[in-house]
Structure 1
């Protein structure tokens, strides 16, 4: 997709249409009032740009249900993409989402993203005899904290998908509540591509106008952590306030609005967010602020 790559064609029917949430209706009403009064130059804050991370695969699966056979709490992700200057919906954009499973593993990269489940069978044992000493010099490797891209090491593609926004800028994905791994809070990655063309071959050309991440509040994550298979995840978890990618700015920073039964989150979660983008800009994740160095992230996953 990005850089002229093509993806499979979209089937008839396009993206799911869905009604606006009460929050979005209130938000839109407030925006209209501000615009009428001439008190606002922009209708909505730009959603924060973040690093792409090492585990992106370009538009490999054109679909809305990305669950495959992964177990976890059902999650419906409802997004609305708008132009942050005009507040108009961005229609026919290609939206990518991808995230780890309940145990912290990314499809295509299981050998890199060890997660917090069962230890790999080929894990080394014993005490190393050649422990390095001194202070390291030079730049970190591209696959670590800098968020450099890594090539996939397997053919798995669970919890990844691309779909188009409808005339109202809306798109819906079916998936599971993500898990976690050392150094990062619970999150979902996203890219928004515009100015391309949907053809019989799929989405061609265009550019990424947004690369970001969606985040979950601590209450929901703690509720999920007692449900299997999340309860089997032994990785040390980073909280939302400790995370080096989330900028602590709420919805503008990608914090999702969540709805679920507080008595039993396992019944499912509905997550929604309005994503404000600049369609004329190019944000492929390389221009985003890089993660800080304070988190105790493992090198293979710190930027994902």
Structure 2
């Protein structure tokens, strides 16, 4: 079921793009307003485990820079499921993903935005595109070890998997695991429960994301507005190497591309989408918490296509 209401036009001119979000299961609409579970205005400092205030104009802290825009990739599916837990029955290391969305100019949190995430499973396969396999047909390489085995891709990205660019592909099946949309709360925070992504040929480990603003939330979901940010979230090498020791990641034989070798990662730290991670050393299988404050321009249109 989808809503039929359209977004109220903003005072300035915008190129409105229609999108709909399908409710997943009874009662999901009522849960929309819950928002993230994180304490107001604070994220965990993932290097020390202590709390640090989120960037805001009123706090007098330096504002976060605009988070890098990246390609959407060919495997985005609109009208996705409205939910915080996107795991379904996928195996993998539990991952809690907490994102705070702020206006990069004013530093104020952006509330009621619709945030999409989507990523591959532990073996590099995207839901909706299972026939594509992992890395455009699989690898035949070896799982990661202390020394990265992937060779840097050459030339321009040619598609994803295998590059990360390319034009949109139509879904080949009805699976929708590891995909979802949720609403930012009054502090601009949104939280998802998922699993640590795997890897596939030609790309480092990553999560795709979009931020939609100026749309309308209805009992049926979210529609209208603009896509002000399209980006990707990245993981440091130490965490990826740690996951490679844990099943089912340890069974992934696709040759891995490292963060430094990736043709999409902007190589500019958190500004480029590099997540801050917290997990128990030598026990990453118990779970990971990943956080990032994303600075976006709510007046812009960035579809990533």
TM-score (norm 1): 0.79
Are 2:248 and 1:229 aligned?
Answer: yes
Contiguous gaps of at least 5 residues in structure 2: 3-15, 24-28, 46-50, 140-157
Q: Which residue, out of 231, 242, 261, partners 1:242?
A: 261
> Kindly tell me: are residues 102 and 22 of structure 1, through their superposed partners in 2, closer, same or farther at Cα, counting changes over 3 Å?
closer
Are 2:73 and 1:50 aligned?
Answer: no
1:172-224 superposed Cα distances (whole Å, 9 cap, x missing partner): 00000000001000000000000001012211100100000000000000000
Alignment of 1:197-276 (within 5 A): 197-276=216-295
Q: How many residues align?
A: 261
Q: Which residue, out of 167, 172, 186, partners 1:148?
A: 167
**1:79 Cα deviation (Å)?**
0.5
- What is the RMSD of the two structures over their aligned residues, measured on CA atoms? 2.7
Residues 48 and 254, structure 1, Cα contact 8 Å, conserved in 2: yes
Are 2:214 and 1:192 aligned?
Answer: no
Contiguous gaps of at least 5 residues in structure 1: 36-42, 120-139, 287-304
CA distance in 1, matches of 2:138, 2:261: 25
Report what 1:97 is aligned to. 117
Q: Which residue, out of 39, 49, 52, partners 1:25?
A: 52
CA distance in 2, matches of 1:223, 1:116: 25
**1:31 Cα deviation (Å)?**
8.5
**1:3 Cα deviation (Å)?**
2.4
SS in 2 for 1:231: helix
**1:60 Cα deviation (Å)?**
1.5
